Amino acid sequence: MNFDFDFDTLTLDLGLDFVFSETILILLAISFVCLFLLITVYRHFITTVYRKSLNDTLNQHDPIDEELPGVSVVVYATPDCHGLAETLNAILEQEYPAEFDVTVVNDGQSDDVKDIVNLIHNAHKNLFITFVPDDAHSLSRRKLAMTLGVKGARHDCVVFTNAGVQIESKRWLELMVRPYAAGKEVVIGYCALDPYTRLSSMQAFDRVATSSAYLGSAINGSPYRANNNNLVISKKTFLANNGFSRSLNLHGGDDDIFISEICNKHNTAVVLASEAILYFSPNNPGKYHRNDKKSHIFTGRRIFKSGNMMMSFGSWLRFIGIITGIAAAILGLPSIIPALWVAATFIFTAVVMSIAWSKSAMAIGEQLSSFGVTFNAIFRPLYNFYYSIISFATSRQNYTWN
């Protein structure tokens, strides 16, 4: 019997040929470089909020040298708001070592809002109320409410929030005001969705990605957006900018156009300590997310958004890395070595990025399923493109005369 083997043939039959064309090697190199940049440069950016939150949380009980100033808290309330009493009690029971007062801006002179405020005022004399007239038309009622709140503020340090937010710590106010006491004019906080609020997998990921972009950009010195449910602004800075004068014809813009006008790396701070995070639960989470996204896409066209540029950079890295990797795997056949290499790098990248996104979501109190992260990250550019079209088609709704 003859037991001779042709090892070259055997190697080819098993798909273990290690000799590849120059084209395949170039495609593999491009794919590797893109995915390497994705898990280094891009991952470092999206985990900025995680590192900031970790640092702020570790230091949130440290004593401070600065004397905390007097504070005016402005609470925006609409007739259909829920949880106003809980929000006001949580604010009024804050363990803040200096003087502070609370003004509820009643949008529309709702009797329910007035009754709640009057009842609580009996026990808290630092609670006040004003209102937005019912006949105020052709302007953003929220902007008018915030303007009335600022102009009536008794202190230069003004804290904005909304009726119905959940304040879980009695040190929220102190933590948000600390950077102001240290010389900052704007302090950007965060307000997350209530943990029991349900969004689709893509909506939840989009919310985390959007928040990571603008918070990470602000932390790195390029602020362009904030959350007006948890925001500190100097009254002098607000008035010096003439308030919302440059976006009075828009319903939105109070938390991005206005912020991009007054904020810079020197006068702005971000606070992401666990006890400074607020929560809220919209009546219709899906509708709230859709309207919020359309509004910010529209107003975002007027501002420079460095965070979005980094997100686009990551999307292109992911797209090029996947396409070149798949092309190399196909051209490498019948050898399975390129396919195995591509599969291994894809899986490793997916795991690393899923962990990074989960950390970022946890840092800001948002809920995110790690299983759908890779799918959502791949298709989010198409999701954004769809909403860009919808935003353009409904652009007239963004103007106050409609």
Tokens of 329: 């795997």
- Listed in sequence order, the residues at least 6 apart from 86 whose beta carbon sits closer than 8 Å to its beta carbon are 166
Rounded Cα distance, 345 and 68, in Å = 51
Rounded Cα distance, 72 and 100, in Å = 6
The Cα-based distances of 109 to 3, 128, 131, 320, 323 in angstroms read: 97, 14, 6, 55, 58
Tokens of 103: 């003004």
The pLDDT value given to residue 303: 84
Backbone angles phi, psi at 368, to 5 degrees: -145, 125
> Residue for token digits 């302007």?
139
Rounded Cα distance, 360 and 53, in Å = 9
Q: What share of the chain is helix, strand, coil (3-state, %, to 5)?
A: 55, 10, 35
Give the chain's residues under pLDDT 70: 1-19, 135-138, 402
Q: Are the C-beta atoms of 104 and 132 separated by less than 8 Å?
A: no
Q: Are the C-beta atoms of 386 and 203 separated by less than 8 Å?
A: no
The pLDDT value given to residue 18: 59
Tokens of 54: 């970790």
Rounded Cα distance, 5 and 195, in Å = 64
Preceding peptide of 97 cis, ω within 30°:
no
Report the relative pairing of strands 231-234 and 186-188 from DSSP bridges: antiparallel
250 bridge partner residues: 399
Report the relative pairing of strands 127-132 and 100-107 from DSSP bridges: parallel
The pLDDT value given to residue 247: 82
105 bridge partner residues: 76, 130
Amino acid identity at 218: A
The pLDDT value given to residue 362: 95
Rounded Cα distance, 250 and 233, in Å = 21
